[in-house]
Every structure is written in structure tokens, then in C-alpha cells.
Chains A and B, each alone.
Chain A
Amino acid sequence: MSYVLIDQTALPYSMELSFAGAPCDLRTNSLELARALERLSISCGDYGLSRFGMRVIVDGASREPIGEPHFRGLHHVVTASFGRSNLFVWDILRRTLGASVSATAAGDDRFWKEKLIPLTLGVLGCAIGLVPVHCACLETDGDGLLIAGVSGVGKSTLSMALCEEGFNYVSDDWTYMSLCHDRIVAHGTLAPVRVLPDAVMHFQSLQKHCLQMSMYGELAYEIDIAEAFGAQMERECEPRWLLFLERMHRAGTEFKPMSIAETQSSLSCSVERLPVQLPEAAATREEMIRSVSLLPAWRFRYGGTPQFAAKELREFVVSRRQEVYA
């Protein structure tokens, strides 16, 4: 039996970090990990978010690789393991992550950047005022475009096409929303864009990348969109419009306005239920979904290539702006 005590006295390195606008108190016994996480931390504005704590103990002698992920949760606790030496426990009520990891995991910058930080914001988000919403976010001239839709509908593929069309990239599958002085702010993380294998039909350059098993248990390309497409990354933006993406067989596009109630219902259905033990987190999320539902929203259906849809969306955004300024 092995026993790991995550005690402050065993964690001599402490730092104040910030991820997607959320302040984080890190304590660890690994200077290497502290420095790696400091490189991922971006100090941005004060969004009035609650602090969360990360306590990570690194077993310097363990070379155990990062294994397959396994997640479970009950009440206010969520656990994850990535192999037997990489164990994570989130306490949503107390806004903490406790972790025991191998030296291999501690030294893998991509693991923290692409998996652990986004996961932590996803799990603790509602408790700190940073609500994960299942949508992509693109930005153009300071205005945010949110693209929601069921998994597999092509949000990521369309996001890549929009980046080719000149939009800036904020986030892919999940966008983290905060309310700051009654304004919604959409935050991204550095999680990779995840697209299914058939996206290679529209983006030949994906052939240079390897398919890998994603955390969701499906084969996918996981790419850094800035590296792969030269896309400009934006950390945050103020969302102006919301689209619910759907596909259709015939070529063309359709924009059908959605009511606030329809938008709210669609957004609510796309997120996991929260247990009754987390009433404040549930209330925070409900308030955020209500706020996002007030954005002008459309059901956007298209048939044809994502590049075609991206051009149509570019025109759409230009015409919405002209309406605003007319």
C-alpha cells in the first residue's frame, strides 16, 4: 500500500497564478512543475472570480507514464486517474485540486497545458464564477462569435475554416464565461483543437499530423491551431452573437432566429447536471446560461464545405455589424 500525504509542509514552492482569468494558488514540491505552470499562467484583468487552490506532490522517483484517463464524481468530489501514479482529486465545494503525480507527468508541459488546466477549469469553473459552456468561440475586431451544437456536428472543423477566413481563435469545444460588470467575457484555454478524422477531406494539411486517442475515447487529430494554421489566438473576448450549428444535405446556408427560451433550453441541455450538494455552483451556472441566452442567437444550418460556411459567416457578421451601426 502506498500513502501520499499532500501537506503544505511537504510543498515548499508556492506561486500565485492565473488561468483564463481565474486566480490560482499553487503549492508543489517540484520547482520544475511550478515553473512550467508559471509559463502557462497569464496575468489578465480582474474578473471578480474566486480563487482556487492547486496542491501537487510529485514523486521524483516515479517514471510512470501518463496512462488512459478515468473520471468519476459523486457529490462535491471529482476524481481522475491517468495511470496508477497520476491521481487527481477536485473538491468543488472547497475549490481545490489535490494531485499526486509521477515525475514523467510533472515534466510533460503539454499534459498540463492541454489536459489538466482545462479539466480543472471545467470541474471547478461553476464554483469560481467561470462557467464552462459547450461552444467554440471565434473573435473578429473585438466581437465574439459563439458556435454551439451537439458533439460531432462540426464546430471544430468550422472553427478552423473561420480561422482561415481571418477570424481569431479563442476556444474550440468549451468556452469559459465570466460576468464582469454585467458584461459577459468569453475566455479560452490553451486546449488543442480536436477534429475527427474525416476533417482531412477539407484540410489536407492535417495529413501531417497523427491521429491519437482523445480523452473522450475517440480517434481524433489534436492540433495547436496557431502552429498548424497560423491562427491568431485571443485569450478572451466579449461575445456578440450565438449560433447553434446544424448540418443539412443540400448545399447552402440557413439562419433561423431563436427565441431566448429556445436558446436557454439548448444551452442547458448541453452541460452535465450538477448534484444537489452544489447549489451555489448550479445557481452561478444558471445565471450565466440566462445571460448568454440574451445574446442574439440563430440556428445556423449549412450544407457544403466548412470553407463555404465560413465565407457565409463572414458575410453574416459584416451584415450584423452594419445593422448595429446603421
Chain B
Amino acid sequence: MTSEPCRRPDLLRRFVPTPYVFSKCVGSNQICVESNDLEIALGIRRSGIVQRQGNRTGGLLCKVIREWTSPVDDSDISIVSDGRLRVLYLGTGTILIHDHERSEILGFISRNVKVPELVSSLIPALLDPGG
């Protein structure tokens, strides 16, 4: 066996630690918010929109990573809806994914996006079934 350390790459930033975890029961549904940014985790937990979504879908996981190094550029919101996935893009660095079958909201938020914009504008746009 080699004794060299194994440094496996994480090019997609899948394994960014998310130490801020809030779990909450709404009725019989479990809602879990995970982030590497306390402000994001608190903002989502307080927002109510996730609770409403969790109520409808029978539980919800919301994992959102704050990106400090991704490109920051101005752009309009684009939403791509494909089967069970709905993906919201804002510029290059902000990507939010909603898998409605698995009841998961996953995403990366670039450093120029403030938490109020995330919870009052981006997540509602992602979840809006009519949009």
C-alpha cells in the first residue's frame, strides 16, 4: 500500500462543509437547512417559505453553499425546468436547484447576493410552479 496522502479533487465543490444545520418538524414533516454561512442558514429558517414547501411535499432538505470565489457578474434570472428538476441561474455564480420529487433545494450563492434577496426573491422564483 502506498503511504502517499490521497488528495481527491473536489472540482464541483460538492464537499464544502456545511456546519450550520437547522432541523425542524412542521407537523409530521422534517425540514432541514444546511449551509456553510450562518446568515444564509438563519435567513432560510426564518423565511417561512421553506416551511410552507415542506408542508406540501412531506419534508424538505435545503442545502445552500455561500461561494466566496465564484465569478460575480450582472445578469437576469434564468430558470430552466426539466422534468423533476428546476434550476435558477443568476449570473455565473448563483445556481439554485429544486428537485421536487426528492423535495430538495440545493444551491450555490455568489458573494454579491444578499440573504434577503435569496429568501424573498430567488427561492420563491425557484419554487413558483407557475413561473
Contact = CB atoms under 8 A, between A and B. Distances in A.
Given A71-B11, A272-B12, A4 B80 contact: yes
B10 to A, nearest CB: 7
Contact of B80 (A75, A89, A273): A89
Given A75-B106, A89-B82, A262 B1 contact: yes
B41 to A, nearest CB: 15
A100 B91 CA distance: 15
A266 B8 CA distance: 10
A304 interface: no
B104 A2 contact: no
A2 B78 contact: yes
Q: Which of A1, A96, A262 has the most CB of B within 10 A?
A: A1
B8 A70 contact: no
Contacts of B10: 272-273
Interface string A266-281: 1011111101000000
B81 interface: yes
A273 B81 CA distance: 27
B76 interface: yes
A77 to B, nearest CB: 5
A326 B26 CA distance: 73
A240 interface: no
Interface in B98-131: 99, 104, 106-108, 125, 131
A265 interface: yes
A1 B99 CA distance: 20
Given A1-B78, A4-B81, A74 B14 contact: yes
B97 interface: yes
B-side interface mostly:
loop
Contact of A100 (B12, B13, B80, B97): B80
Given A96-B83, A272-B8, A74 B97 contact: yes
A81 B92 contact: yes
17 contacts: A1-B79, A2-B76, A3-B81, A6-B83, A70-B93, A73-B13, A74-B65, A75-B106, A81-B92, A84-B75, A84-B89, A87-B78, A89-B97, A261-B1, A265-B6, A269-B8, A272-B9
Given A2-B76, A73-B12, A74-B14, 19 more contacts: A1-B79, A2-B77, A6-B83, A68-B71, A70-B70, A70-B92, A73-B13, A77-B97, A79-B95, A81-B89, A89-B87, A91-B82, A98-B80, A100-B80, A268-B8, A269-B4, A272-B10, A273-B8, A275-B15
